[in-house]
Amino acid sequence: MKKLVKSRKVEKPKKSSKETKSKQEYFPGDKVKIIADKEYSGIFFESYDPKIILLKLESGYNIGIEKSKIKSIKILEKAKQKPEINKKKTKENPNLKKIIILHTGGTIASKVDYQSGGVVAKFSAEDLIGMIPEIADIANIETELIANMMSEDMMFSDYQKIINSIKKHEHKCDGIIIGHGTDTLAYTAAALSFALEGINIPIILVGSQRSSDRGSTDANFNLISAAKFIAKSDFIGVGICMHNSSNDNICAILPATKTRKMHTSRRDAFKAINDSPIALVNPQNSEITFMKKYEHKQGHGNARFKDKFNEEVGILKTHPNMKNSLFEFYSKNYKAIIIETTGLGHMPTNLGKNLKNYEIIKKFIKNGGIVAITSQCIYGRVNSNVYTNLRRLSEIGCIFCGDMLSETAFIKLSWLLGNYKKEEVKVLLTKNLRGELNERTLFSEDFVE
């Protein structure tokens, strides 16, 4: 008979205090030295990516270091704890207009405190006024946090969140400012312009090209300019407020469907394409100069929210030596395609292997697909009547989109498919609904009064 042996619980060896401490030895605000591919010294602060450590270098620039490549970390100086500052609740001034500021992310209303490693702005009105005291003299401010994301991660579902917030606030305020990351700010502006039909308050999107911890930041200037524009004008509709030049003197209010980010880092990166700014704002003296006709506010109307976006629209950029498989992929995976062509609307569909691309597009349209033509050129318009090869594309049903920006055409087509029947979509795509299309080509001299 086998002898029963009582099993004994095997305890895992405890980690030494040294090992435990090594995982927690540095905190936001600590000055550290990191040995990786080379040596780095700076202030550690929180990263949005758990695989990355962020340092504020002595030069003032930030650097991200992959944790997997770090050999050692040494604390040079512990962070000093700052006393909590009591923030006073702001009181409304009955003589001022009310502005709602919606936050979606970006750097427009946040500031990293490298002493504590955290973000100073908690997105409340009190925090914002603490950072920009002048704004309390411009309007009564109320804020709401919608998201805290990099704008390249924006989805159509995020547009819905912004629109739902606008629905909630439009009747109880004089205007709305939306803080947004700059990379896809123009896409969101176009989306709101189409979705907010008949909106009777100003909706101004504001971004910042330079982070607010830098001396050259444009965050405060842009935000103050947007607030003054709402407070001092009777403009209604959607616009964009960004620097008009690299100097801190004037901001431009730009048209939502005709604006493009034209530079990666300049403060005046946003420009109206084939169009002019709506207005120029001088925040120092509150002077507003309108550059074109605009819709005026007349009481508090009821906006019509057509806010659905179809996700089965893609953008295909043409280039030399394109494979037929690219056209096949888009035709199989999307219901509608924006083809960003060269020049007046040219794409590789004329000779040799490229003839197959023509047949793919023809079949796609015959089976119910929609193909819209825009140009890679920044200025000018596409035209189906100049060359024989363009007339061939028009004859099989390709829709030429005039001087509409590719980004705007993408948003417009997604919006149309989400809210209208397909036959209506084909007609409305070529109609000017929100200032996205000009009847004639404009040149720079047309923008000067």
Q: Catalytic site residues?
A: 107, 182-183, 261
| Burial zone of 36 (CB within 10 Å; 0-12 exposed, 13-18 middle, 19+ buried) | middle
Contact 184, 240 (CB under 8 A): no
* Residue recorded with tokens 């992929």: 329
Length of the chain: 449
Question: DSSP letters along 44-56, please?
Answer: EE--SSTTEEEEE
Contact 425, 416 (CB under 8 A): yes
Structure tokens at 204: 């101004």
Sequence letter at residue 364? F
Q: Which of 351, 343, 231, 221 has the alpha carbon at shortest distance from 282? A: 221
396: Cβ–Cβ under 8 A, 6 or more apart, which residues? 358, 361, 362, 365, 366
What is each CA distance from 165 to 77, 107, 427, in whole angstroms?
A: 44, 20, 31
Which DSSP category does 343 fall into? T
Which DSSP category does 198 fall into? T
Torsion of Cα atoms, 212 then 223 then 255 then 433, to 10°: 110
